[in-house]
Structure 1
Amino acid sequence: MEYKRWDNPDGPVYTLPAEEVFTITYQNGTKDLISKFDDQPSSKNSKYADAFGRHPRYQGEIAFAYGLPLSEGTADLFPRIAFETVHGVRICPYAFVGAGFGINYFYQELYASDGWRIYELNSGGTILPIFVNAKAYLPTGRKSALYLSWDLGAAMGIGGYFSSGTEFYTSIGPGISFGRQNKGVRGDFSIRFQHIGTGLNALLFRIGLGF
């Protein structure tokens, strides 16, 4: 901090470290009191913003997944590939809320038998999940964060052997986000338990990009 003596305005310019200045007295007699803690929040907030970005802010993601069947039932219905996109608000480095939708395609053919012949009933099925999403983050550095994700919503049948109907939908599981957490594109990997109504549980291996 630079200053001149008010009783010698043409005199030399003095310099003091800002942390050593507690009171400023002006020529008219008024005073400003400066707390020694004033600079600390600013410095802390600057480092916080550099590491994690400004909050709240928009956050989005796109992902693809393979679903490994878990539940009992007609085995042909179980294997699936999925696409999802989620968009919302990163409230702080530790929390996100948003909404998303996806396409789950059950790719194996479905057959039936009357004891004499085998009939092909359908060549696949498609489900459209629509859900809200919440994530709890645990930052582990500037370029990585662990998280727990939870989806909650409904899944609608839109094709094949799921041409109609609506079922309760949820998925939950841990993941890791890798790449700079304050800006740019990040990689994302997670493993989630997925439930779509009765008999359609799966373990999703999910990989995508966050932005």
Structure 2
Amino acid sequence: MLSPSTFDYTSLEKEIGNIKIDEEGSTSIGLGIATAVDMLRSVKDDAEKVIILLTDGENNSGEIDPKLASEIASNFNIKIYTIGIGDAAGSHAWVTYTDPNYGKRRIRADFTLNEKALIEIASITGGKYFNAKTSSALDNVYNTIDRLEKKPITDDNLIQYNELYKPFIIIALICIALSIILSSTRFLIVP
């Protein structure tokens, strides 16, 4: 999944919910990094560019080597924080996916954490490796990354408006009040 930086968490959760998982369970880490680098390289040079890679570290698909993709990211001053999920001894998770022939299915996905690869990817770019075995540990990792990358947000496009309508509204209200008073007294029209 590719997502730009956003404060719209509802949209982000919706995108995560739309992730399609197939039965093959292959991961192309190098292609994922290269795609993110391609998107981030057009960002202003003075902006902090960060990729957060959440994976088990097994690159078993794609034609781009993760180490090469990390070196390219480093050349564009893009930092990669890697988050390893799972266990080096092996883990499994039950995954729901939609089979075109049989509909929704749950399968057991077995995976092994490759910490060495994730540490290498992070170190090449000046990032850091984290391990998250539980959802609370993952929350802690995201909070740590947030503290490491905390930058003040400046909005160069902020426009200050000087509203000039108030005196005109006051004059209009005075005119309406005078009209009502005068039509009831001095300019009273009797049929």
Q: TM-score range by the shorter chain?
A: under 0.3
Going by fraction, where is strand more abundant, 1 or 2? 1
Going by fraction, where is helix more abundant, 1 or 2? 2
Q: What TM-score do the two structures reach when normalised by structure 1? A: 0.22
